[in-house]
Amino acid sequence: MRVNFTVNGRPQEADDVWEGESLLYVLRERLGLPGSKNACEQGECGSCTVRLDGVPVCSCLVAAGQVEGRDVVTVEGLAEYAKQRAEGGCASGACGTTLQDAQLGVPPGEAWGRQAKGTDSQTGEGGELSTVQQAFIDAGAVQCGFCTPGLLVASDELLERNPNPSDADIREALSGNLCRCTGYEKIMDAVRLAAARQSEEV
Amino acid sequence: MDFLRPASWEEALAAKAEHPTAVPIAGGTDVMVEINFDHRRPEYLLDLNRIGDLYEWEVGEESVRLGASVPYTKIMESLRAELPGLALASHTVASPQIRNRGGVGGNLGTASPAGDAHPALLAAGAEVEVESAARGTRLIPIDEFYTGVKRNALRPDELIRAVHVKKADGPQQYSKVGTRNAMVIAVCAFGLALHPETRTVRTGIGSAAPTPVRAKAAEEFLNAALEEGGFWDNGKIITPSVAKQFAGLCSAACNPIDDVRGTASYRRHAVGVMARRTLTWTWESYRGNHRTTEGAA
């Protein structure tokens, strides 16, 4: 079947989609957006977290056909999404982005190299990192990096909803994202750092 | 596989009548796992996401008519006053991502004994509204809904439209045992609701029998003991011996198995502990303390 939906602000058409296929598979294998990670495929780990009409969901548990006509933001579009929100374009969190390069699939190794330098995100050439992304780098919240895209999407949504979260708020918001490297302390640091920086910006 | 995308409830009923083997999918948090792991290859998937009515709820005089697809997140945010037990249960479901998608209709459709909503529905009192194109609507009392392990009273051409849950007329509590606070299937769970208007107590036990069950003998014992001692009027602390006997009868209502999550004897023991605790919490709240919405997972 064919599925039409919006990804990171850009209309997309996926063809020859199998009816039992997940949104995650469509993003990674048909649209060349490997940012959302495929780990548990049962909603346990949160590595595939995306925003569906603004709401954080596990993309492995959304059937491809269910996103027809809907709006998806992946980690690739997160920086632009956060930028537009900061500029007042999208307080509701339900709008997309306009960045044309958001769909460029960047090989994970290359993306990692760029991300580590702090000069670019996976959104394409010349993009800036969002506050949350930069905070994850600065706080050392990334080790193997596999859980990072999901944590970034979940953390960004938390700070959109609650700019000054308590530690309990952070733990609850990230309770659906597993990390097997960091022990979560650096991730907590990163979210606290992002919240502090975000409040300075306002 | 075919993906059916009805745009309205009537279309969905027609599709289910035409293809009784079609598997309804709403939040996808159960169905997609089975498909991803190749445990299930339904001939038809019946997507309910486009039916807006299923995401709405109405607060009536006596009960809340909760649309089958209202996500757990909404129940936690918006129905804490009317359905405190179900709101607490909803908060123990998996993770934010899952609570944003899953709803009570899916829990009922899957009818797993470990579904988090069941003990709260049993304790509050509820009816499941189901409908078919051929025979229209019927309301199934929650006590008659669960018929076996992952089996329910739905007929092949029926879909779950909503669940009518009695509005709380007294304190309710929910307790769940798991290895951590998020992302766990219940080892066992317990829901308790005080109904001061009828001077009754109702219970619900999860994950400790082939289906979710009420501890009816325990309820009858407690109802009699509370009546006899004038507790509803004098608001006295419940006698420890009464609480203990209630807990014992709740344990006895279990018919658990040993599995990877826990042994049968642990489940029986834990249900007794949760029964005593939830009774104490709700009774303290009834007596005028402020513990109505504090939960414990």
Fold of B172-286: Enolase-like; domain 1 (3.30.390)
pLDDT grade, residue A92 (50/70/90)? very low
Confirm or reject contact between A19 and chain B (CB < 8 A).
yes
Instruction: Answer whether residue A154 shows pLDDT above 60.
Output: yes
Chain A residues whose beta carbon lies within 8 Å of the beta carbon of residue B29: 43, 58, 61
Cβ neighbors of B278 (< 8 A, separation 6 or more) are B173, B174, B175, B190, B191, B192
**Whole-number percent of chain B with pLDDT over 90:** 96
Higher pLDDT, A97 or B68: B68
pLDDT digits (tens, 9 = 90+) for B160-211: 999 999 999 999 999 999 999 899 999 999 999 999 999 999 999 999 999 9
Q: What CATH number does domain B2-166 carry, 3.30.465.10, 3.40.190.10, 3.40.50.720, 3.50.50.60?
A: 3.30.465.10
* Mean pLDDT (whole number) for B19-25: 98
Sheet holding B2-4, edge to edge: B2-4, B44-47, B23-25
β-pairing, A10-14 with A3-7?
A: antiparallel
Q: What share of chain A is helix, strand, coil (3-state, %, to 5)?
A: 45, 10, 45
Instruction: Answer whether residue A59 shows pLDDT above 80.
Output: yes
Domain range annotation of chain B:
2-166, 172-286
Instruction: Answer whether residue A125 shows pLDDT above 50.
Output: no
pLDDT of residue B252: 98
- List the single residue in B with minimal CA-CA distance to A39: B36
Whether residue A42 and residue B33 make contact (CB cut-off 8 A), yes or no, is yes
ipTM given for this complex: 0.93
A117 CA: distance to closest CA in chain B (Å): 30
> A14 and A3 in contact (C-beta within 8 Å)?
yes
Length of chain A: 202
Whether residue A175 and residue B95 make contact (CB cut-off 8 A), yes or no, is yes
Confirm or reject contact between B293 and chain A (CB < 8 A).
no
Half-sphere exposure of B148 (CA within 13 A, CB side): 2
**CA triple B142-B148-B152, angle to 5 deg:** 50
pLDDT digits (tens, 9 = 90+) for A23-42: 999 999 999 999 999 999 99
Cβ atoms within 10 Å of A124's Cβ, excluding its own: 19
pLDDT digits (tens, 9 = 90+) for B238-265: 999 999 999 999 999 999 999 999 999 9
pLDDT of residue A201: 81
Query: What integer best gives the mean pLDDT of chain B?
Result: 96
- Report helix, strand or coil for A89: coil
DSSP assignment of A12-56 equals EEE-S--TT-BHHHIIIIIS--TTS--S-SSSSS-TTEEEETTEE
Instruction: Answer whether residue A109 shows pLDDT above 60.
Output: no
Token couple for B192: 């308790």
Cite the beta strand spans of chain A per DSSP E: 3-7, 10-14, 49-52, 55-58, 71-73
Interface of A with B in 138-167 (CB under 8 A): 154
Q: How large is the C-alpha radius of gyration of chain B?
A: 19
What are the CA-CA distances from residue A76 to residues A3, A6, A44, B285, B288 (Å)? 20, 13, 22, 49, 52
CA distance B86 to B73: 11
- Report helix, strand or coil for A72: strand
Confirm or reject contact between A36 and chain B (CB < 8 A).
no
A115 CA: distance to closest CA in chain B (Å): 26
pLDDT grade, residue B289 (50/70/90)? low
Token couple for B151: 């089996």
pLDDT of residue A101: 36
Burial of B203 by CB count in 10 Å (0-12 exposed, 13-18 middle, 19+ buried)? buried
Q: Domains in chain A, start-ordered, CATH in brackets?
A: 1-202 (1.10.150.120)
CA distance B235 to B286: 8
Find, among B178, B129, B47, B204, the residue nearest to A63 by Cα. B47
> A63 and B47 in contact (C-beta within 8 Å)?
yes
Whether residue A68 and residue B5 make contact (CB cut-off 8 A), yes or no, is yes
pTM, two decimals, is 0.91
Beta bridge partner(s), residue B193: B172, B202
- List the single residue in A with minimal CA-CA distance to B184: A44
Half-sphere exposure of A66 (CA within 13 A, CB side): 28
Question: If phi over 0 gives left and psi between -120 and 50 gives alpha, with beta otherwise, what is residue B3?
Answer: beta
Whether B2-166 shares its CATH topology with B172-286 is answered no
CA distance A11 to A5: 6
Instruction: Write the residue in A19, A41, A58 that is nearest to B37 by C-beta.
Output: A41
Interface of B with A in 81-140 (CB under 8 A): 94-98, 100-101
pLDDT of residue A127: 76
pLDDT digits (tens, 9 = 90+) for B222-233: 999 999 999 999
Which helix H or strand E contains A114, and what residues bound it?
Answer: helix A108-117
Instruction: Answer whether residue A95 shows pLDDT above 90.
Output: no
